[in-house]
Amino acid sequence: MRKITFLTLFILFATTITAQNKKSLTFDDILKWNRITEQMISNDGKFVVYKNEPWKGDPVLKISSAAGTELFSVVGGTGASVTEDSKFTVFTIKPETEVVRQLKLKKTKKEKLPKDALGIYDLTKNSLTKIENLKSYKTPEILQNS
């Protein structure tokens, strides 16, 4: 009986010591996590577009094939939409957060700060067309036959 009691206490003591060796979760660890936002699938089902967004920093817009191979990615891409014929992906490219922050610290005038750009990715040719100094854009609404 004495051996069983000693063995039980030893096992209990050993498990408490090993449980305390685990690293605790910190706020810095949470900042490294990414979340997937703005996900969509093209009408023909061949392409997947999503934004991989960290808690702190610039998002990355990614375009993948249905098989899962990454075709294209751009830092700062947001607001993506795939055209109805599944030939183009249209999105806004925001300037990098750190670049804008550094320019603001230097007290750069608002007119001289980098502006958004329009990205048009051709899904058939795998090419990007970039239009600088974007104010706004609209894509046509998809017509629904009821």
Domains of the chain, by residue range, sit at: 36-131
Q: How many CB atoms lie within 10 A of CB 48?
A: 19
The alpha helices in 69-135, defined as continuous H runs, are 97-105
117's enclosing H/E stretch is strand 117-122
Residue 86 has pLDDT above 60, yes or no: yes
- The per-residue pLDDT for 108 is 86
Q: What is the pLDDT of residue 61?
A: 95
Per-residue model confidence (pLDDT) at position 26: 83
Q: How many other C-beta atoms can be found within 10 angstroms of the C-beta atom of residue 90?
A: 17
Which pLDDT does position 146 carry in this prediction?
Answer: 45
Check whether 6 has a pLDDT greater than 90: no
Confidence (pLDDT) at 65: 93
* Strands of the 88-93 sheet, one edge to the other: 77-82, 88-93, 117-122, 127-131
What pLDDT digit, counting tens, does each position of 97-146 carry? Answer: 888 889 888 888 888 888 999 999 999 999 999 999 888 888 877 655 54
Q: Is-above-0.75 flag for pTM?
A: no
pLDDT of res. 142: 62
In the prediction, which pLDDT does 95 show?
92
Return d(Cα 123, Cα 49) in angstroms, integer: 11
- Count CA within 13 A, CB hemisphere, residue 36: 7
pLDDT tens for 9-59 read 777 777 766 555 667 778 787 777 889 988 999 999 999 999 999 888 899
